[in-house]
């Protein structure tokens, strides 16, 4: 008998290219060792960006109060992340050693609600001016 495999939430839309690119993740980051900001010490360079595990509670989300997440999306992501892990890192901006998140809101909340200590991030370095631009 040929079985039907039910793929989890949005799995079929993953770009295989980026999945392969994100595979070699640096290291765990719960201690914040060496940086004091919850980021992994050994970063993995990837096309000018850095992929690293960052402590969930070290990521500031300045706009989170003004934007509501879709609870059904968060729930579906929680189930999927618990089952297969995060397949696509969230984007964060690093300014003077502080991490800011403006997107990936549902994945971030799913991590928080699952009680996961860290989240895989694609980090872009920026200036205070970049930050101001995001806050507008």
Q: Is 9 in the site for ligand ADP (CB under 6 A)?
A: yes
Residue 86 near ligand ADP by CB under 6 A: yes
Beta strands (DSSP E) in the chain are 44-46, 49-55, 59-60, 90-95, 98-101, 118-125
**CB atoms < 10 A from the CB of 16, how many?**
7
The answer to whether the beta carbons of residues 26 and 35 sit under 8 Å apart is: no
Residue 56 beta carbon to ligand ADP: minimum distance, rounded to whole angstroms: 13
Size, binding site for ligand ADP by CB under 6 A: 17
Least separation in angstroms between CB 70 and ligand ADP: 7
Q: Which residues sit at the interface with ligand ADP, rule CB under 6 A?
A: 8-10, 14, 73, 77, 80-81, 84, 86-88, 103-107
């Amino acid at each position: 008998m040929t079985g039907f495999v039910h793929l989890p939430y949005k799995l079929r839309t993953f770009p295989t290219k980026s999945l392969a690119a994100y595979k070699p993740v640096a290291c765990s980051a719960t201690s914040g060792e060496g940086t004091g900001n919850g980021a992994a010490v050994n970063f993995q360079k990837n096309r000018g960006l850095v992929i690293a595990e960052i402590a969930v509670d070290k990521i500031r989300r300045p706009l989170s109060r003004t934007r509501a997440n879709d609870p059904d999306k968060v729930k579906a992501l929680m189930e999927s992340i618990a089952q297969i892990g995060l397949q696509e890192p969230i984007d964060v901006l690093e300014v003077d050693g502080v991490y800011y998140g403006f997107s990936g809101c549902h994945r971030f909340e799913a991590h928080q609600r699952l009680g996961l200590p860290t989240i895989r991030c694609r980090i872009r370095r920026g200036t205070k001016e970049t930050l101001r631009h995001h806050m507008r």
